[in-house]
Structure 1
Amino acid sequence: MKKKLLFTLLFLSTIGCFSQQKTIAELSAVPNPFTSSTKITFNADSKSSVVFTVKNVLGKTVHTQKIEAVKGKNSIPFYKGNLSTGIYIYTLQDKKHFTSKRFVIQ
C-alpha cells in the first residue's frame, strides 16, 4: 500500500513538473565533452535578460555572464580558459525560471 501511494505521489509530482511553462527550452552544449570551447544553445519564448552561470561539482561559481536573449534560438560561446578538466554544471536563469545541465572539459 505504501509503495503504491509513494509511486502515485511521485508520478503526480513528475507530471506537475513537466506541465510547467518554461521560458528557456532545448538547452544543450555542443560539443560535449570539449577540450577548448563549446557552444551553449537554447530557445527562448521571448526577449529577456538571462544569466549564464558555470559551477564546478563543489558548487563554486567559476563563470557568470549576463545575456540579452532574443525570442527563438540563441547561442553562447564558452571557452575553457583556465578551468581544469572535469564536470561542470551550467545554468541559464531568467526572472522566473532556471534550467541546468552539465558539460565535461577534457
Structure 2
Amino acid sequence: MAEPNPAKRKRVDDEVGQEEQTPPPTKHDFESFAPDGDVICILQGETRVRIDSAIMRRASPVFRTMLGPKFREGHDLANSGGVPVEIALPEDDAEVFGWISRVLHC
C-alpha cells in the first residue's frame, strides 16, 4: 500500500523579506514597567511608559537632576500625593526608552 506524500517543506527563499514588522507606536500604547510607578513618561509618538522614579534616578544622572528639587518635574512629583506625574519627553524614542526601562525595572 502506498503511503501518502508528506507535506512539502516551505522554500527558504519564500521566507526571505517576510520578517514580522512591528507597527509604530500609537498614542494609545501604554507600557507599565512599574505597576506602582510614580511617573508616566509621554514619549515620541505619544507612547506612555509608567516607571519608578527612584529606579530611574539611581540609574540616570539626567533623571536624578530632572526629578530633583531644582526642576518643575521634581516639584510636581514631590507634591503629587501619590498620583503618577506625567512628564513629556517628545524627543525621546519610545522603543529605545522602552528597552532601557525594561532592563532597569527587571
Q: TM-score, normalised by structure 2?
A: 0.28
TM (norm. structure 1) is 0.28
- For the pair shown, which has the larger CA radius of gyration, 1 or 2? 2
Which has the larger helix fraction?
A: 2
Greater fraction of residues in strand: 1
